[in-house]
């Protein structure tokens, strides 16, 4: 007969019901023996007080054993019944009852594979999150860099603007045009000078 | 045998909560 | 009756046990066993028997009271009554430890792992959305840098041309 260890009951009570019953059985049995012993002591004492009593202590002991043997037999039978009822009706967790600490067992149940997959998904999500964070850092770094580059480029453009403004303030709205204009004028001047020089030579010669 | 049963039952009662506390700590630490 | 609390049931069972034990060990049985004494001292014999019964009952009931107090049994049994009352609507057998701790631990841990997964999902989604925006900003920034570079190049080339003109002018001016 397989023993029902009643571990679920032990989880709730903190002791096994069988131990509890054993503890009660031993205590009750001890009391039965103790009371029987007390009865025998009292009877022997009473007999001591009776002069020329023919009943010997051995006889009384035999009577005690006879009564105790009978009582023990009935005691064991009755206790067996009581134990059965105790284990069925009092110290048992009914099969449809779940202990509070196990409530979660009813809510969600995952197979080992599902649990594994969940773990895998969590790890993947963690990796993905890390990647996204790195991406964010990279973007922020580039944005920072862009700010610097743009500032430099804008500064360069400002320099050009300031140059042109300087020109403008001195009457040359457009440097290039004015230079072209200068070059043309210079050429004209040179031509004029050449002509003047030629004329001068002619005059000398004549 | 009885002691083993009580020992196992006690662990079944207490350990899930203890393990849960550790797991929650780990998850929180990972999150941080 | 099912309405009877476990504590009441326990007391009733112990009382019944005692009644039956005393009924079995009746005074008649007692005098049969202690025939010589009870014939000699019947009155005394009756008193001793009564004392025997009283003492046995008192001892056993005191023991039960002690066990109840020691294991806080009344509160524990009342708590069990409450659990049974709470779960009375469900008929099918409830979960029980499988003997495989790892398997049994999955369910208590599951809600926390599911929560962790959901949190991570939300964070990844949030971060992806943020990164999409950042990517947009980076692309815009690149376009702006490119634009500025073009502008600078154009201005630079204009000055380069200017420089050439200037050289040309110098050359012209310097011509003998």
CA distance A76 to A28: 10
The pLDDT, as a whole number, for residue A131 is 96
Angle among Cα C163, C168, C174 to the nearest 5 degrees reads 125
Q: Is the pLDDT of residue A166 over 90?
A: no
The pLDDT, as a whole number, for residue C70 is 86
Which residue on chain B is closest to A18 by alpha carbon? B2
Which residue on chain A is closest to B18 by alpha carbon? A101
Q: Which of C108, C116, C119 sits opposite B16 (nearest CB)?
A: C108
The pLDDT, as a whole number, for residue C175 is 64
DSSP-derived secondary structure for A42-100: HHHHHHHTSTT----HHHHHHHHHHHHHHHHHHHHHHHHHHHHHIIIIIS---TT---G
The fraction of chain A above a pLDDT of 70, given in percent, is: 98
C20 Cα to chain B: minimum distance (Å): 30
User: Are C130 and A137 contacting, i.e. CB atoms less than 8 angstroms apart?
Assistant: no
User: Are C67 and A24 contacting, i.e. CB atoms less than 8 angstroms apart?
Assistant: yes
DSSP type of residue C94? P
A148 Cα to chain C: minimum distance (Å): 10
Q: Which two tokens stand for residue A138?
A: 């990279």
The mean-pLDDT minimum among A111-120, A122-131, A174-183 falls in A174-183
This model of the complex carries an ipTM of: 0.78
The pLDDT, as a whole number, for residue A150 is 94
CA distances from B8 to A99, C126, C169 (A): 15, 45, 104
The pLDDT, as a whole number, for residue A203 is 87
Instruction: List Cβ neighbours of C129 (8 Å cut-off, separation of 6 or more).
Output: none
Best-predicted range by mean pLDDT (A127-141, A156-170, A175-189, C83-97): A127-141
- Which is nearest to C17 in space by CA: C56, C69, C51, C66? C56
Contact yes or no for B6 and A8 at CB 8 A: no
pLDDT one digit per residue (tens) for chain C, 176 residues: 567 899 999 999 999 999 999 999 999 999 999 998 888 888 889 999 999 999 999 999 999 999 899 878 999 999 999 999 999 898 899 999 999 999 999 999 999 999 999 999 999 999 999 999 999 999 999 999 999 999 999 999 988 888 887 887 788 777 65
What residues of A are in contact with residue B30 (Cβ under 8 Å)?
Answer: 126
User: Are A143 and C138 contacting, i.e. CB atoms less than 8 angstroms apart?
Assistant: yes
Q: Is the pLDDT of residue A1 over 50?
A: no
CA distance C85 to B18: 28
CA torsion A193→A199→A204→A205, rounded to 10°? Answer: 130
Q: Which of B20, B30, B31 sits opposite C109 (nearest CB)?
A: B20
Please name the residue that has the structure tokens 């049969």. Answer: C32
Contact yes or no for C120 and A154 at CB 8 A: no
Contact yes or no for B1 and A8 at CB 8 A: no
Q: Which of A7, A18, A126 sits opposite B9 (nearest CB)?
A: A7
- The chains found to touch B (3+ Cβ pairs under 8 angstroms) are A, C
**Cα–chain center distance at A131:** 22
Q: pLDDT (tens digit, 9 = 90+) per residue, A41-80?
A: 999 998 888 887 788 889 999 999 999 999 999 999 999 9
Q: Which of residues 4-33 of A touch C (CB under 8 A)?
A: 7-8, 11-15, 20, 23-24, 27-28, 31-32
The pLDDT, as a whole number, for residue A179 is 75
Range A168-176 average pLDDT: 73
Please name the residue that has the structure tokens 């929560």. Answer: C115
User: Are C118 and C46 contacting, i.e. CB atoms less than 8 angstroms apart?
Assistant: no
Is the CB of B31 inside 8 Å of chain C's CB atoms?
Answer: yes
């Amino acid at each position: 007969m397989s023993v029902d260890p009643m571990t679920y009951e032990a989880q709730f009570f903190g002791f096994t019901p069988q131990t509890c019953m054993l503890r009660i059985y031993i205590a009750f049995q001890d009391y039965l023996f103790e009371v029987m012993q007390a009865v025998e002591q009292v009877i022997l004492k009473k007999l001591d007080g009776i002069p020329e009593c023919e009943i010997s202590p051995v006889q009384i002991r035999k009577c005690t054993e006879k009564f105790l043997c009978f009582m023990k037999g009935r005691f064991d039978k009755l206790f067996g019944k009581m134990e059965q009822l105790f284990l069925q009706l009092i110290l048992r967790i009914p099969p449809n009852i779940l202990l509070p600490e196990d409530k979660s067992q009813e809510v969600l149940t995952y197979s080992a594979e599902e649990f594994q997959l969940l773990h895998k998904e969590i790890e993947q999500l963690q990796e993905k999150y890390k990647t996204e964070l790195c991406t964010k850092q990279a973007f922020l770094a580039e944005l920072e860099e862009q700010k610097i580059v743009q500032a430099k480029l804008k500064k360069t453009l400002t320099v050009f603007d300031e140059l042109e403004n300087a020109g403008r303030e001195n009457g040359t709205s457009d440097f290039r045009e004015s230079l072209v204009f200068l070059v043309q004028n210079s050429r004209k001047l040179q031509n004029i000078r050449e002509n003047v020089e030629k004329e001068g030579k002619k005059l000398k010669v004549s | 045998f009885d002691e083993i049963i009580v020992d196992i039952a006690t662990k079944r009662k207490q350990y899930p909560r203890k393990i849960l506390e550790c797991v929650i700590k780990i998850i929180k630490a990972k999150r941080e | 009756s099912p309405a009877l609390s476990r504590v009441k049931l326990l007391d009733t069972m112990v009382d019944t046990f005692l009644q039956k034990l005393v009924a079995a060990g009746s005074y008649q049985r007692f005098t049969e066993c202690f025939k010589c004494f009870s014939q000699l001292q019947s009155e005394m014999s009756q008193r001793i028997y009564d004392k025997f019964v009283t003492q046995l009952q008192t001892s056993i009931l005191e023991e039960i009271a002690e066990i109840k107090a020691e294991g806080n049994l009344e509160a524990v049994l009342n708590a069990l009554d409450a659990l049974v009352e709470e779960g009375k609507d469900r008929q099918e057998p409830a979960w029980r430890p499988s003997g495989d701790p790892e398997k049994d631990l999955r369910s208590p841990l599951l809600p926390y792992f599911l929560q962790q997964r959901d949190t991570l999902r939300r964070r990844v989604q949030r971060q992806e959305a943020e990164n999409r925006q950042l990517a947009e900003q980076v692309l815009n920034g690149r376009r702006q840098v490119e634009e500025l570079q073009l502008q600078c190049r154009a201005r630079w080339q204009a000055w380069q041309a200017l420089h050439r003109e200037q050289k040309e002018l110098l050359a012209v001016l310097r011509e003998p």
